[in-house]
Amino acid sequence: MGLLAFGINHKSASVDLRGQIAFAPEIVVSSLQNARSELDVQEIALLSTCNRTEVYIQGDVSDGQLLDWLATTKNVELNQLQERYYCHRGDQAISHMMRVASGLDSLVLGEPQIFGQIKSAYAVGREAGTVATFLNQAFQQAFSAAKRVRSETAIGKNPVSVAYASVSLAAQIFTNLSDAHALLIGAGETIDLVAKHLKERNIGHMTVANRTLSRAQQLGEDYSADVILLSDIHDFLPKADIIISSTASQLPILGKGAVESALKKRKHKPMFLVDIAVPRDIEPEVEELSDVYLYTVDDLEEVVQDNIRARSSAADMAQNIIDEEVESWSRQNRALAVVDTIRAFRSSVETIRDDEVEKALGSLKRGQDSVQVITTLARNLTNKLLHKPTKRLKQAGEEGREDAIHTTNELFDLTKKKH
C-alpha cells in the first residue's frame, strides 16, 4: 500500500479547466476528510494552486475511482478529465512530489513560491487529520530534496521574470540605485514584483502611480513607497530616474511630449523606461528622444532567456539530487516493508522458546536430572526451529530454486565446508 500522486497541472490542462477543479482554501479541510472516506484511503493531502491541483495518497485506489471522485466533487464532466490527468505511483510518485517542491515541475522553472504552497498543503493535511506517519515521511523527504536543490544548485539564483529583468537592466544603467528614484505605474502583480526587486536592490526612493489609490497604498505600505494618482503622473515625471509601467490600459499612458517636457526640467539627466504592458503603455516615439533608454517586453526577452538557460543547466544537477533522494526513500520503505515479517518471525520463535522452557521447568520440578532437562530443551529447540526451514530448503532443492538456497546461506552466514 504505497504512495500515489494524482492530478492535473499547467502542462496537462487549460487554465479554464484548472480553475474549475481548484479547491478554495476554506473548503480544503472538509474536502480532505470527505475524500478519505469516499476513496477509502489511509492518508490524503491536497495541493491546489493556479497551476495545479494534486492529491497525494496512501492507499489502494484506481485511476477510475480518483477521476470519478474529482469529477463528482467539482461537478465537471468525466471526459474533460480523462485526457488531462496524470497518476504516479511508488517511486514515480515521490519523485513527482520532490520535483514539485523543488520548482522543477513549475511553469517558471525553479520558482520558489511552490515550496511554501506544498508546505501549506502538508500543514492543512495535518490539521485535517488526514496526514499521518506515511505521508509525513513522504513530505519530509520532498522538503529535504527541495532544500538540497536550493542549496546545492543555482536553480533559484537566476530569476526569469520580466520584473526581475527590468530591475537588472536598471542596475546596469544606474550604477548606484540608492541614489535613484523609481516611478512604478500600475499596481498589479508584475509591479508588485518590480517593487520587491527594487527594494532588494536598495532603491533610493519609490513612488507608485495607479488609477485608484487603495491597491497602490497597499504596495506603498509593503515597500515604503509614496503613492500618487495616475492623473498626477505628468507633474511627477521630472523627479523619476526609472519608470516601469505595467497597466491594463488600452491606450498609451506616457507620450513623447510628456517625456520630452520632463527631460527639459531634468536638464537632460537620463531617464530609464521599461514598458512591460501589452498593449504598450509608453508611445514607441519616446525612444527617439536623447537621454532616454526605453525597453519593451521584447527587449527583456534576451535577459529572460539567458536566465532560463542557466536554470535549465541547474535543473540537470537538481534531477540528480532528486534521484538520490528517491533512492533514499525507497531504501526506507523497503526496510519498513520487512518489519512485519521480522516481527512475525520473532513472535514465532519466542512462542516455541516459551513452550519448551515451560516444559523444561516442569521437568525440573518433577525432580528430573538438570543436565538431562537442559539437553532435551536444547535438542527440542533446535528441532522445532529448524523443522520448517529444513523442509522448505529440501523442497527448494527438489524444484531447482537456487535463489532460496543462496538466500539461506546469506541470511545465516553459512559457508560450505570442503571434505
DSSP 302-371: HHHHHHHHHHHHHHHHHHHHHHHHHHHHHHHHHHHHTHHHHHHHHHHHHHHHHHHHHHHHHHHHTT--HH
CA angle, 286 then 291 then 293, to 5°: 60
Same domain, 208 and 125: no
Ranges of beta strands (E only) in 175-334 are 181-185, 205-210, 226-229, 242-245, 271-275, 292-296
pLDDT in tens, 5-50: 999 998 999 988 998 999 999 999 999 999 999 999 999 999 998 8
Bridge partners for 274 per DSSP? 244, 295
Report the share of the chain in percent with pLDDT over 90.
Answer: 67
Same domain, 185 and 297: yes
Same domain, 149 and 169: no
Range of the domain at 381: 337-411
* Domain CATH code at residue 30: 3.30.460.30
Say which residue the cell 537566476 belongs to. 158
Is 206 strand, coil or helix?
strand
**Could you say which of 125, 156, 187 is where a domain stops?**
156
Looking at the predicted structure, is the pLDDT value of residue 207 above 60? yes
Structural domains of the chain, count: 3
Same domain, 17 and 137: yes
Q: Comparing C-alpha atoms, which of 361, 366, 389 is closest to residue 377?
A: 361
Same domain, 172 and 235: yes
CA quadruple 81, 84, 90, 93: dihedral sign: negative
**Could you say which of 156, 187, 218 is where a domain stops?**
156
**Could you say which of 156, 190, 206 is where a domain stops?**
156
Same domain, 12 and 139: yes
- Structural domain includes residue 309: no
pLDDT in tens, 105-161: 987 788 788 999 999 999 999 999 999 999 999 999 999 999 999 999 988 776 677
pTM greater than the 0.85 cutoff: no
CB atoms within 10 A of CB 171: 17
Q: Comparing C-alpha atoms, which of 9, 92, 4 is closest to residue 43?
A: 4
The pLDDT of 369-378, averaged and rounded, is 92
Q: Phi and psi at residue 209, in whole multiples of 5°?
A: -115, 130
Looking at the predicted structure, is the pLDDT value of residue 417 above 90? no
Please tell me the predicted confidence (pLDDT) of residue 215. 86
- Structural domain includes residue 378: yes
Same domain, 10 and 142: yes
Which amino acid type is present at position 85?
Y
Same domain, 142 and 172: no
Burial 118-138, CB ≥16 within 10 A → b, else e: beebbebbeebebbeebbebb
Looking at the predicted structure, is the pLDDT value of residue 419 above 60? no
Please tell me the predicted confidence (pLDDT) of residue 159. 66
- Structural domain includes residue 328: no
Same domain, 224 and 253: yes
Report the share of the chain in percent with pLDDT over 70.
Answer: 98
Q: Are 312 and 110 in contact (CB under 8 A)?
A: no
Round to whole Å and give the CA distance between 412 and 165: 64
End-to-end CA distance of the chain: 48
User: Annotated active-site positions, please?
Assistant: 50
Helix (H) or strand (E) holding 48: strand 43-48
Same domain, 49 and 128: yes
What does R_g of the chain's alpha carbons equal in angstroms? 33
8-state DSSP, 179: G
pLDDT in tens, 277-300: 888 999 999 999 999 999 988 888
pLDDT in tens, 297-354: 888 877 777 777 888 888 889 999 999 999 999 888 877 767 778 888 888 899 999 9
Round to whole Å and give the CA distance between 232 and 216: 14
